[in-house]
Amino acid sequence: MVCYGLHPALTAHSCLSAGRKARFSLCKLRPALRADSGRSWTTKVACCAADESGSGTSNKFFLTTPLYYVNAAPHMGSAYTTIAADALTRYHRLRQKRVTFVTGTDEHGEKIAESARAKGMEPQQHCNGIVKSFKNLWEQLDIRYDAFIRTTEDKHQAVVNDILQRVDAQGDIYRANYEGWYCVGCEQYKDDGEMEGDHVCPLHKKPCVQRKEDNFFFRLSRYQKQIEELLENNPSFVQPASRRNEVLGWVRDGLRDFSISRAAVSWGFPMPQDSAQTVYVWFDALLGYASAILPPGVDASVQNLQQRGWPANVHLVGKDILRFHAVYWPGMLMSAGLPLPETIFAHGFLTKDGMKMGKSLGNILEPEPLVAAYGHDAVRFFFLKEVIFGQDGDFQEERFRNIVNAYLANTLGNLVNRCLGLLKKNCNSTFPADAASLDAEHPLRIATAAEVDKVAAAYEACALHEAAEGAMNVAVRANKFVDDRAPWTSFKKGSEEEKAEAGLVLLAALEAARIASVMLSPITPATSGRIAAQLGFSDDDPACSTWAGTAWGGLQKGQQVPTPKPVFARIECDFVTAPADKKAAKQAPVAA
Question: At closest approach, how far in Å is the CB of 384 from ligand MSP?
Answer: 13
Would you give the end-to-end CA distance of the chain in angstroms? 46
Smaller CB separation from ligand MSP, 134 or 216: 134
- Pair type for strands 270-271 and 98-106: unpaired
Smaller CB separation from ligand MSP, 321 or 505: 321
Question: At closest approach, how far in Å is the CB of 312 from ligand MSP?
Answer: 11
Q: How far is CA 353 from the centre of its chain?
A: 25
Which amino acid is residue 247, in one-letter code?
V
Question: At closest approach, how far in Å is the CB of 315 from ligand MSP?
Answer: 8
Question: At closest approach, how far in Å is the CB of 80 from ligand MSP?
Answer: 5
**Looking at 430-559, which runs of residues are DSSP E strands?**
none
Give the residue ranges of DSSP H helices in 40-153: 76-94, 110-118, 123-140
Smaller CB separation from ligand MSP, 99 or 183: 183
Q: Give the residue at shortest CB distance from ligand MSP.
A: 318
Question: At closest approach, how far in Å is the CB of 364 from ligand MSP?
Answer: 8
Smaller CB separation from ligand MSP, 284 or 451: 284
Which sign, positive or negative, has the C-alpha torsion 511, 513, 519, 522? Answer: negative
| SS3 label, residue 6 | coil
Q: What are phi and psi of 352, to 5 degrees?
A: -130, 125
Smaller CB separation from ligand MSP, 320 or 498: 320
Question: At closest approach, how far in Å is the CB of 335 from ligand MSP?
Answer: 17
Which amino acid is residue 33, in one-letter code?
L
- What residues contact residue 22 under an 8 Å CB cut-off, 6+ apart? none
Question: At closest approach, how far in Å is the CB of 3 from ligand MSP?
Answer: 25
Which sign, positive or negative, has the C-alpha torsion 74, 314, 306, 338? Answer: negative
Smaller CB separation from ligand MSP, 78 or 417: 78
Smaller CB separation from ligand MSP, 150 or 477: 150
Question: At closest approach, how far in Å is the CB of 214 from ligand MSP?
Answer: 25
Q: Where do contacts with ligand MSP occur on this chain (CB under 6 A)?
A: 66-69, 77-78, 80-81, 106, 285-286, 288, 317-318, 320-321, 349-350, 356-358
CA distances from 27 to 226, 251, 556 (A): 17, 26, 48
Instruction: Spell out a b/e string for 192-227, using b for 16 or more CB atoms within 10 Å of the CB, else e.
Output: eebbeeebbbebbeeebeebebebbbbbbbbbeebb
The neighbouring-strand residues paired with 180 are: 211
Smaller CB separation from ligand MSP, 73 or 512: 73
